[in-house]
Amino acid sequence: MEKLRTVRGVHDLLPDILHKQNLVINEGLKISEKYCYQQIETPIFEFAEVFTKPLGKTSDIVTKENYIFKDRSEDELMLRPEGTSGVVRAFLNAGLTQDIPKRYSYYGPMFRYERPQKGRLRQFKQFGIECIGINNSMADVEVISLGHAFLEKLNILDKINLKINTLGDSETRLKYRKALVDYLNDYKSQLSNESIKRLSENPLRILDSKNETDKKILINAPNIIDYLNEVSQERFEKVCSGLSALKIKYQIDKNLVRGLDYYCHTAFEFITSDLGSQGTVLAGGRYDGLAKMLGGVDTAGVGWAAGVDRLSLMINEEFANKPDLVLMAVSENLEPLLMPIMKKLVDKGLKVEILITGNMSKKFKRANKVDASYAIILGEEELSKNIIKLKNLIIGSERLITLDEAIKVIKNL
């Protein structure tokens, strides 16, 4: 029989990998709580239109990257490709539009049918935050600052650069779209096939092209900042001055866009060169039009999502499952008596591994392998005297004492 394996593009998360991912998530939860962001959890799958309506018919996620299916009721459902739409849908469903602002954090698996590569899987984890109901540009500074603080807590900020841009308001984008299309039409025969398709459907996405020829063409493309109206210009300047006041270094990247159709004004990405082509580890922006697209009232929003898988690849921390002590009995008939001892030790806050397979030699080899500092050994003599043998595995000494005395010795170490 052929050995079963995982589906292409999804991975098992063994303890060493999961340890790093949990570290990323826990740091995200801790720092976002300091900024008064409350944790929220939305379903892994939703009605498809929760994503197809706001993402736009021309986005890659809708056209070729979604996992969509019908259930027994013939409802069209989609595994969530991103977190923002679900969070805003939950906000609207709960009738919270009169109780703003709302600040949320979330994490969990997302799903996109992409070509698997390092840091880019078909099932991947994101940690994200959303600030809903504040139109002021200082909310943009707040979420970027929180992202910066999050990466600082992970001790990887020195490997990361922040790039920002503005997409302006609808008036700005309309003017800029025309100027960009006029420019690119002169190079239409040289553009990649994907960019030619985007030229009529969503030309701003061409700015994000990874094709080398497209990149060369875009060097002299119009700059959206030159097309900002007064309101959009003032807003972007406030974001930049807010970041400068926090001493957060950034670069303005005229070609930085968001791949989803509901974004406006501020767009930003934290990027590293340590992960090859998959360099974006945290990205976000403002999405003031999303709530209305989902059937609610116009509600401002800004947030970001971070790739947990990618961030965990950058963390230099070795996984260790070291117990404080191990338990072993000299004979099989005494092994059931180890469980009450283990419970008492665990109740006292100690980390314990019980050894119940192999002879005493193999048990000590296991104790050395897991790097335990102490071993408690139970034999017939110890049982008759209501004591245990405590062995210091670091220096090799041992003594006969009560269990309570042993707990004090181990906790003092």
pLDDT for residue 194: 84
The C-alpha atoms of residue 264 and residue 73 are separated, in whole angstroms, by 36
Please give the average per-residue pLDDT across 226-235, as a whole number: 93
For residues 193-215, one letter each, b for 16 or more C-beta atoms within 10 angstroms of the residue's C-beta and e for the rest, the string is eebeebbeebbbbbbbbeeeebe
Helix, strand, coil percentages (3-state) for the chain, rounded to 5, are 40, 20, 35
* Integer Cα distance of 152 and 30 in angstroms: 13
Q: Round to whole Å and give the CA distance between 352 and 322.
A: 9
Model confidence pLDDT, tens digit, residues 95-118? 999 999 999 999 999 999 877 777
Q: What are the distances in angstroms from CA 125 to CA 80, 108, 151, 185, 303?
A: 11, 5, 16, 39, 16
Share of the chain above pLDDT 70, in %: 96
Q: What per-residue confidence (pLDDT) applies to 255?
A: 83
Structure tokens at 393: 């595995």
Burial class (CB in 10 A: 0-12, 13-18, 19+), 58: middle
Nearest to 198 by CA among 259, 150, 108, 266: 259
What is the per-residue burial (b if ≥16 Cβ within 10 Å, else e) of 65-75? ebeeeeeeeee
pLDDT score of 53 = 80
How many helical (H) and strand (E) elements, i.e. helices and strands, does the chain have? 15, 16
**Quick one: pLDDT at residue 58?**
53
Q: For 242-257, what is the mean pLDDT?
A: 93
Give the CATH H-level superfamily of domain 15-169+229-314. Bira Bifunctional Protein; Domain 2 (3.30.930.10)
pLDDT in tens, 133-162: 999 999 999 999 999 999 999 999 999 999
Please say if the pLDDT value at position 63 is more than 80: no
Does residue 25 surpass a pLDDT of 80?
yes
Global pTM reads 0.87
Type of residue numbered 30: K
Using a 10 angstrom Cβ sphere, with 0-12 exposed, 13-18 middle and 19 or more buried, the burial of residue 246 is middle
Question: Distance (Å, rounded) from C-alpha 233 to C-alpha 245?
Answer: 18
Average pLDDT (26-45) is: 97
Pairwise pLDDT comparison (104 vs 197), residue with the higher score: 104
| Residue 297: C-alpha distances to residues 59, 85, 94, 195, 289 (Å) | 24, 14, 13, 34, 9
**Ranges assigned E (strand) in 224-324:** 251-252, 264-272, 280-286, 301-307
Q: What is the pLDDT of residues 169-179, one digit of tens each?
A: 888 888 988 99
Residue 210: pLDDT band with limits 50, 70, 90? confident
User: What residue type is 337 in one-letter code?
Assistant: L
Question: pLDDT digits over 365-379, tens only?
Answer: 999 999 999 999 999
Six token digits for residue 290:
């999303």
pLDDT at 366: 92
Per-residue confidence (pLDDT) for residue 61, from 0 to 100: 56
Q: Choose the CATH number for 325-412 among 2.102.10.10, 3.30.1310.10, 3.40.50.800, 3.10.20.30.
A: 3.40.50.800
Dist CA 259 CA 262 (whole Å): 9
For the record, the structure tokens of 50 come out as: 């929760």
**Residue 226: partners with Cβ closer than 8 Å, 6 or more residues away:** none
Helix (H) or strand (E) holding 213: helix 212-218
pLDDT at 249: 96
- 270 pairs with which residues across the strands? 162, 282
Query: What are the residues whose beta carbons fall under 8 Å from the beta carbon of 297, sequence distance 6 or more?
Result: 97, 291
Domain boundaries along the sequence of the chain: 15-169+229-314, 325-412
Task: Indicate the pLDDT class of residue 57, thresholds 50, 70 and 90.
Answer: low
The answer on pLDDT for 76 being more than 60 is: yes
